[in-house]
Amino acid sequence: MHQIAIFGAGRIGSVHAANIAAHSRCSLAAIVDPDLDAANQLAGAYGTEVRSADAIFGDANIKAVLIASATDTHADLIEAAARADKQIFCEKPVDLSVPRVKDCLAAVDTAGVQMMVGFNRRFDPDFAELRKRIHAGEIGTLELLTVISKDPAPPPLKIAKASGGLFRDMTIHDFDMVRFLMGEEPIAVSATASCQVDPEIGALSDVDTAVVSLRSASGKLAVIINSRRATYGYDQRIEAHGSNGMLSVGNHAESSLIRADADGITGSKPQYFFLERYALAYRAELDCFVEMLDRQKTQAPNGGDGLAALVLAEAAAESLATGREVGLD
């Protein structure tokens, strides 16, 4: 039974706490969060305790940490966990700076511990099946990938301020999906974006609506479409177009009930929130982390995947600022 401590008692930390508590091969050792009210509430819900970071890193019985705290704490916690010989799961992003991420990965490598990064969409059953069938050649050679990702509403301004911007916060998941599905690394990135949803986001020199194009060395193209506003719910769709056909994944509806009458056919809206849409993915992601702990072998997505997605996010930001396509080595 692997004892796992969670850093962060917010929304994501709460999801992971519930999944760890329900898992047959791991247990929730403790919660760490400077907001003691939130920490105590979460710990009380699952019969565990609130402890300090130093206590976690000094406890030899705790073999792993799950970092779901504020982004600006991730890098320091990763390095501290590595020094303490803890296995690591860290929510994306590892950090907002490419050099800082490289430092973290070096620390993990030096310590000889394993690290997994939380790109949960890889574990969605539909997206995992899509990748399997693309790579099996079911549609021939992949030529064009379209990733649509729209949030139902923009994040609270407090979160937006610390997020690193749309590309590093939201689109980073889509960059990882492009890499996951395409099977090749993008060599060129072009982005255009604007602020159409929330003027306060624009006041932060950020954007809330974007289109990003990526190209691989073989000519495969990917297009990412993002918006911080979808009035009908959480919009998550992918289409893969190949030389012999097309595969697509649609939205998950709130209900499968459909009404048909003389006026037409109507159904439910997409699920509203990402925690609902990706509930199965979060559980499968934890299974993968536990398997990593069992085998003592890093599972994908790993630190290198986290770095690669951030590099694409930085390239998109550079493209937006310069109005030019950005090439990658």
* pLDDT tens digits along 278-315: 999 999 999 999 999 998 777 789 999 999 999 999 99
Tell me the per-residue pLDDT of 61-87, one tens digit each, with 9 for 90 and over: 999 999 999 999 999 999 999 999 999
Right CATH number for 122-281+309-327 from 3.60.15.10, 3.40.640.10, 1.10.357.10, 3.30.360.10? 3.30.360.10
CA dist 287 and 192 (Å) reads: 37
- 10 Å Cβ neighbour count for 284? 17
pLDDT reported for residue 68: 97
Residue 273 confidence class, pLDDT cut points 50, 70, 90: confident
Question: Cβ distance 173 to 179 under 8 Å?
Answer: no
Q: 119 burial class (0-12, 13-18, 19+ CB within 10 angstroms)?
A: buried
pLDDT for the residue 238? 98
Q: Is CATH 3.30.950.10 the classification given to domain 2-113?
A: no
**Residues found in the chain:** 329
Chain segment 20-38, per-residue pLDDT in tens = 999 999 999 999 999 999 9
SS3 content of the chain, % helix, strand, coil (to 5): 40, 25, 30
Give the mean pLDDT of 188-213.
Answer: 97
Split at pLDDT 50, 70, 90, the class of 13 is very high
> Between β-strands 245-249 and 264-267, what pairing exists: parallel, antiparallel or unpaired?
unpaired
* Amino acid identity for residue 106 in this structure: A
Please say whether the beta carbons of 7 and 80 come within 8 A: no
Residue keyed to tokens 């590595």? 82
Mean pLDDT to the nearest integer, 135-160: 95
Residue ranges of domains in the chain: 2-113, 122-281+309-327
Structure-token pair, residue 236: 């998550």
pLDDT above 90: residue 158: no
Report pLDDT for 264: 94
Query: Collapsing DSSP states into helix, strand and coil, what is residue 164?
Result: coil
pTM of the model: 0.95
Strand segments (E) across 62-141: 64-67, 87-91, 115-118
Which run of H or E residues covers position 310?
helix 303-322
Give the H or E element holding residue 50. strand 49-50
Is 162 a residue whose pLDDT tops 90?
no
Instruction: Please give the angle made by the CA atoms of 288, 290 and 294, to the nearest 5 degrees.
Output: 115
* 116 contacts 4 by C-beta, under 8 angstroms: no
